[in-house]
Amino acid sequence: MTNPQQWAGQRLGLPEDGAESLAKLGRRSIALVIDWSLAMLVSQAFAGGDSTVTLLVFAVMQLLLVATLGYSVGHRVMSLQVRRLDGKYVGIWRSLIRVGLILLVIPATIWDGDNRGLQDKAAGTVLVRTK
């Protein structure tokens, strides 16, 4: 019989709290609001606030920043980073999978026992705190 995990991320070898622990819903939500607000500002400035342009700006920001740096602007402000489970560079393909599923919305609302959304499970990534 297996022992139940005592905190989200324990099974992944992550600490319960602090740096390297899984990002909690509050930090994730604020990071998302920051990123979406930036996308809306860009869309408003260049396309009159068109909702399709806002979605595209958000997707491109997420794709490029997470693929190259491991974080979006909102993630950085909230001291979060997207990482592969094996600790390697996220890369464009994993970032593309992750962003594609985030844009579908429903996968991002379904979490496992480690508080990882389907987008992170499919991409083999995890959103952790950096501080």
* Contact assessment for residue 101 and residue 119, using Cβ atoms and an 8 Å cutoff: yes
From 115, 109, 127, select the one nearest 70 (Cα to Cα). Answer: 127
Global confidence as pTM: 0.89
User: With 0-12 CB in 10 A as exposed, 13-18 as middle and 19+ as buried, what is 87?
Assistant: exposed
Instruction: Return the domain boundaries, the chain.
Output: 21-129
Give pLDDT, residue 30.
97
Separation CA 54–CA 46 (nearest Å): 10
Give pLDDT, residue 3.
64
Spell out the per-residue pLDDT of the chain, length 131, in tens. Answer: 466 788 888 888 889 899 999 999 899 999 999 999 999 999 999 999 999 999 999 999 999 999 999 999 999 999 999 999 888 889 999 999 999 999 998 888 888 888 888 999 999 999 999 99
* Contact assessment for residue 98 and residue 125, using Cβ atoms and an 8 Å cutoff: yes
Give pLDDT, residue 2.
61
Which token pair is 130?
A: 């950096």
